[in-house]
Amino acid sequence: MRNVSLTRFLIEKEHTNHLITGDLRLLIEVVSRACKAISIAIGKGGLADVLGGAGSDNVQGEAQKKLDVISNEILLEANEWGGHLAAMASEEMDHPYQIPHRYPKGEYLLLFDPLDGSSNIDVNVSVGTIFSVLRCPEGVEPDEKAFLQPGAQQVCAGYAVYGPTTLLVLTLGDGVNVFTLNRETGAFHLTQENLRIPADTREFAINASNQRYWEEPVQRYIGELLAGKEGPRGQDFNMRWVASMVADVHRIMTRGGIFMYPKDRKDPGKAGKLRLMYEANPMAFIVEQGGGAATTGRERIVDIQPTALHQRVPVILGSKNEVDRVTGYHA
């Protein structure tokens, strides 16, 4: 493995491949530094006053953890002055964040879930940051409507995993690359190039406590996996559910698998649990760039025309042959 830092990798993408602009390179470097700061804040845990509830709710009506709020502020403060953004949107904020007039603006829209899986924070399980980058349409005010672009319009997406190591997983639309944080030097280094997800798998991830609410195609698919080698699949399967999307998705990026948070009848008014703009779309882009597939069961996630910044969608993603099978059952 070449000893390539994230900075050098991005410089090559800008000057050699002409794949990205200087502003997009700056955006990614700023986000990576913010993720480093979030990793340090999380790492303090009970030694600092960062655990537990913030005493407030987010736009989803979910109780915020202190680290949700801290992570959101780290990303806002890191990005607002650089001149690369038109605006930002976050799971933790009702409306898009406008760049203060005193700072220059740029062409990119940055969306993020600053701390995904934060319900796991207090029990020391891996969590992460998910981000997505769109272009702001020419001459358009960067209000909520400017963000409502299909995931296929993303120019970049990535996630950081705060686990035994801190990783940054990134796609610029030309494959997926993994960077590991060197805690001594503070630099992210390329540790896996052009990651590919195995097309087949024997590992599935779903919150099985919702089983009685699933639609028929999901009941059938999971039933077949549970039937194992005596059943129609003729082989046994294994199950994993971290309940931290970034951790579950990273496992699948690394060794294959299928992740499912399907539409269910638990709350018929909800199209799913996960959010399209800053969870499903970036993860779908990354998974597809790694040779996997990502659908709602009925359509490709990145083809969805968004109607609201915080809308939810069903998510089925991972090893292509399994996602295709589940999607086929919905047909």
Residues in contact with ligand P6P by CB under 6 A are 116-117, 119, 207, 243-245, 248, 273
Closest separation in Å from C-beta 42 to ligand P6P = 15
With beta carbons less than 8 A apart as the criterion, state whether 98 and 76 touch: no
Closest separation in Å from C-beta 207 to ligand P6P = 4
With beta carbons less than 8 A apart as the criterion, state whether 114 and 75 touch: yes
Q: Which is nearer to ligand P6P, 207 or 238 (CB)?
A: 207
Q: Which is nearer to ligand P6P, 65 or 330 (CB)?
A: 65
CA pair distance 196, 207, nearest whole angstrom: 25
CA pair distance 56, 187, nearest whole angstrom: 34
* Tokens coding 64: 């915020």
With beta carbons less than 8 A apart as the criterion, state whether 116 and 243 touch: no
Q: Which residues contact 61 (CB under 8 A, 6 or more apart)?
A: none
Q: What is the largest CA-CA distance in the chain?
A: 67
Closest separation in Å from C-beta 47 to ligand P6P = 24
Closest separation in Å from C-beta 55 to ligand P6P = 19
Neighbour tally for 121: CB within 10 Å:
23
Q: Which is nearer to ligand P6P, 58 or 244 (CB)?
A: 244
Report the candidate in 227, 312, 304, 308 with the shortest Cα–Cα distance to residue 266.
Answer: 312
CA pair distance 199, 164, nearest whole angstrom: 27
Neighbour tally for 148: CB within 10 Å:
16
- Residue number of the CB closest to ligand P6P reads 245
Q: Which is nearer to ligand P6P, 80 or 264 (CB)?
A: 264
Closest separation in Å from C-beta 186 to ligand P6P = 27
Q: Which is nearer to ligand P6P, 85 or 317 (CB)?
A: 317
CA pair distance 92, 17, nearest whole angstrom: 35
Closest separation in Å from C-beta 165 to ligand P6P = 19
Q: Which is nearer to ligand P6P, 9 or 278 (CB)?
A: 278
Closest separation in Å from C-beta 314 to ligand P6P = 12
> Using only C-alpha atoms, what is the Rg of the chain?
19
Q: Which is nearer to ligand P6P, 85 or 296 (CB)?
A: 296
